[in-house]
């Protein structure tokens, strides 16, 4: 694995143009997310520079643009609010420590090669928590949208304070916020490739604040410190340690999902495969650096990535160009942003919240599946009113239980017994002949598909009603995986038949299935009656019965 991302110089024009365009888009978003998080606009800029820089250097998706995103900002907002409430003096420093810890978690994810597992969750859960995050972002912007300072208590606190917020509305700021939102929504798409609507709204809103609302008492960003950031050394609190670790884990998982989903989009646009585990390393280093310098966390940003690719970028040079331009703003041009109204940033963040909501799936989820819709709406509710961890954990649990139930119902049909040719259409002519000659003395217990734990009940149910027989053939021909619960149910079946002096033959078991049967001692118990396929097992069963028939006839004659 190469340490650095793919940085090439054979596409200079496309990569530089892509980086410049991505930087133009990133500036208003970084300022908006920094203010929305509670860490301040400069924290948003530091996050945009550092996460973008190190993800571009060490990531695994050359055209991915990484920066503060809506989902990460929502979680960071809650982290800052909770830690400052519990420790007013050190709360902000602890929040930046959480960002560093999240970066370390992501680095660990990459080292442990967990990239392919990070996004392995049902779409209903992903859609639900993303929509829930969008709703949270919208609710949290209501106060600045109305010209007020956000109240304490997050979503619930804002909703409770909504009557007071409406009563103390500041018309000038609300007009600016609404105008910003509407301008972005109605901005012609044919011009959006030339000039990002967020930047246009930022410039127009700032000019309107200066020349139209100059006499109004508007809340502004104010001067942003320029120069290199002060290093934020890790700060821990024994009382908040567990909460900090949990917050860091949430940020790390959410950032990893956000980045890898965006990587998939980049793959589809460029037809070039990304390296998921390496991308997590780059994201982790970026968030570690951001927290160390007092920046908010970031992840792969869909809008910046798509625009970057559409404007010609093909290597990580575009991400480095973008980070360099934003660094110039942070180091020397911070004063240019001091007159930006907070209401304009609220309008930009409000539009991001609406964009995060999965309107497409919400509108048709109930038609696709009632159960899927229930999971999605449940995850939305838990995300908004409880917390993201609970929402994702319960959502994944319920979705997996429903999936397992559906699989068990389908696979239970493949667990069946065959004792006569009339019930064995899929058997060959020779196999059907052997069964016909056996006259019910041979019983085939056929199994199909992965035998997961839920099928143990189906196996036991079939075992309870097995017809009388002398030879049992267990057919594993179509079984790729044998779970512990299912294998124990089969073991009981084998042992009961052996105790009744019946012969048990095993057919088609190989690989992992054979190893599992050997570890349980089943192969040894059946005295080596193991056959490569069902036909060989049936032929052996027929020979056993044929050899036993003369003694039966003799006993019958003597008795007569």
DSSP-derived secondary structure for 357-417: S-HHHHHHHHHH-HHHHHHHHHHHHHHHHT-HHHHHHHHHHHHHHHHHHHHHHHHHTT-EE
pLDDT at 542: 87
Q: Is the dihedral of CA 394, 398, 403, 407 positive or negative?
A: positive
Longest pairwise C-alpha distance within the chain: 121
pLDDT-based confidence at residue 558 (cuts at 50, 70, 90): very low
pLDDT at 204: 92
40 φψ region: left (φ > 0), alpha (ψ -120 to 50), beta (else): left
Instruction: Give the Cα separation of 84 and 82 in Å (integer).
Output: 6
Dig out the tokens for 304 from the structure.
């910046």
pLDDT at 555: 54
What does the pLDDT look like over 396-444, one tens digit per residue? 888 888 877 777 777 777 777 787 777 666 778 888 888 888 888 888 8
Average pLDDT over residues 528-536: 87
For residue 55, pLDDT over 90 is answered with yes
- CB neighbour list of residue 43: distance below 8 Å, 6 or more residues apart: 34, 37, 294, 295, 296
* Domain 416-559, CATH among 3.40.50.2300, 2.40.110.10, 3.30.750.24, 3.40.430.10: 3.30.750.24
Average pLDDT over residues 474-478: 87
For residue 25, pLDDT over 90 is answered with no
pLDDT at 559: 40
pLDDT-based confidence at residue 256 (cuts at 50, 70, 90): very high
Instruction: Give the Cα separation of 472 and 445 in Å (integer).
Output: 7
pLDDT top residue among 233 and 167 = 167
pLDDT at 465: 64
Concatenated DSSP letters of 109-132? HHHTT-HHHHT-S-HHHHHHHHHH
Q: Residue 230: helix, strand or coil by DSSP?
A: coil
Instruction: Give the Cα separation of 446 and 199 in Å (integer).
Output: 66
What does the pLDDT look like over 212-241, one tens digit per residue? 887 778 888 887 777 777 888 888 877 888
pLDDT top residue among 434 and 299 = 299
CA angle 289, 103, 129 (to 5 degrees): 125
Rounded to 10 degrees, what is the CA torsion of 83, 86, 88, 92?
-10
Residue 474: strand pairing partners: 445, 506
For residue 124, pLDDT over 80 is answered with yes
Instruction: Give the Cα separation of 119 and 267 in Å (integer).
Output: 15
Instruction: Give the Cα separation of 490 and 482 in Å (integer).
Output: 10
pLDDT at 2: 66
For residue 553, pLDDT over 60 is answered with no
pLDDT-based confidence at residue 98 (cuts at 50, 70, 90): very high
pLDDT more than 70, % of the chain: 94
Supply the DSSP symbol for 216.
S
pLDDT at 560: 35
Average pLDDT over residues 315-321: 94
What does the pLDDT look like over 130-147, one tens digit per residue? 899 899 999 999 999 999
Q: Could you state, in order of their start, the residue ranges of all structural domains in the chain? A: 12-353, 416-559
For residue 455, pLDDT over 90 is answered with no
pLDDT at 557: 41
Question: What mean pLDDT, rounded, does the chain reach?
Answer: 86
Closest CA to 290 of 105, 138, 96: 96
pLDDT at 337: 78
pLDDT at 452: 67
pLDDT top residue among 18 and 555 = 18
Q: Is the dihedral of CA 391, 394, 397, 399 positive or negative?
A: negative
Average pLDDT over residues 515-528: 87
């Amino acid at each position: 694995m190469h340490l650095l991302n793919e940085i090439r110089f054979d596409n200079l024009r496309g990569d530089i143009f892509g980086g410049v365009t991505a930087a133009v888009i990133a500036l208003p978003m970084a300022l908006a997310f920094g203010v929305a998080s509670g860490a301040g606009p400069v924290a948003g800029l530091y996050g945009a520079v550092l996460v973008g820089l190190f993800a571009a250097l060490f990531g695994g998706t050359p055209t991915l643009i990484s920066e503060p995103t809506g989902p990460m900002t929502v979680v960071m907002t809650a982290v800052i609010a909770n830690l400052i409430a519990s420790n007013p003096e050190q709360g902000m420093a602890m929040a930046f420590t959480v960002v560093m810890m999240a970066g370390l978690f992501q680095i660990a994810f990459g080292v442990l090669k967990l990239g392919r597992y990070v996004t392995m969750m049902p779409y209903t859960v992903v859609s639900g928590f993303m929509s829930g995050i969008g709703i949270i972002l919208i609710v949290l912007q209501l106060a600045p949208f109305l010209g007020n300072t956000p109240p304490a208590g997050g979503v619930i606190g804002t909703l409770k304070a909504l009557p007071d917020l409406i009563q103390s509305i500041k018309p000038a700021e609300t007009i600016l916020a609404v105008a910003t939102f509407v301008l972005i929504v109605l901005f012609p798409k044919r011009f959006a490739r030339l000039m990002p609507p967020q930047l246009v709204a930022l410039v127009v809103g700032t000019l309107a604040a200066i020349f139209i609302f100059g006499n109004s008492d508007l809340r502004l960003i104010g001067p942003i410190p320029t120069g290199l950031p002060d290093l934020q050394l890790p700060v821990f609190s024994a009382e908040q340690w567990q909460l900090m670790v949990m917050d860091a884990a949430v940020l790390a998982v959410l950032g990893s999902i956000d980045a890898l989903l965006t990587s998939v989009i980049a793959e589809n646009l460029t037809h070039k495969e990304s390296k998921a585990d390496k991308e997590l390393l780059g994201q982790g280093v970026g968030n570690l650096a951001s927290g160390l310098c007092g920046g908010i966390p970031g992840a792969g940003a869909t809008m910046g990535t798509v625009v970057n690719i559409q404007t010609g970028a093909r290597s990580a040079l575009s991400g480095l160009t973008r980070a360099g331009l934003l660094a110039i703003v942070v180091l020397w041009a911070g004063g240019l942003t001091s007159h930006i109204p907070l209401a304009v940033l609220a309008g930009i963040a409000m539009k991001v919240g609406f964009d995060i909501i999965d309107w497409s799936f919400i509108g048709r989820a109930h038609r696709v599946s009632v159960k899927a819709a229930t999971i999605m709406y449940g995850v939305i509710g838990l995300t908004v009113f409880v917390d993201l961890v609970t929402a994702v954990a319960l959502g994944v649990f319920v979705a997996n239980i429903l999936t397992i139930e559906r699989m068990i119902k389908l696979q239970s049909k493949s667990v069946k017994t065959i004792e006569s040719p009339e019930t064995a259409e899929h058997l060959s002519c020779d196999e059907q002949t052997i069964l016909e000659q056996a006259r019910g003395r041979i019983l085939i217990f056929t199994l199909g598909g992965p035998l997961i734990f839920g099928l143990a009940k189906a196996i036991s149910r079939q075992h309870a009603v097995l017809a009388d027989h002398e030879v049992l053939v267990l057919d594993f021909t179509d079984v790729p995986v044998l779970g512990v619960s299912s294998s124990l149910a089969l073991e009981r079946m084998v042992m009961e038949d052996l105790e009744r002096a019946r012969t048990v033959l095993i057919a088609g078991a190989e690989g992992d299935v054979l190893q599992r049967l050997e570890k349980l001692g089943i192969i040894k118990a059946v005295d080596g009656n193991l056959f490569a396929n069902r036909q060989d097992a049936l032929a052996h069963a027929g020979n056993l019965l044929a050899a036993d028939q003369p003694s039966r006839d003799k006993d019958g004659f003597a008795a007569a």
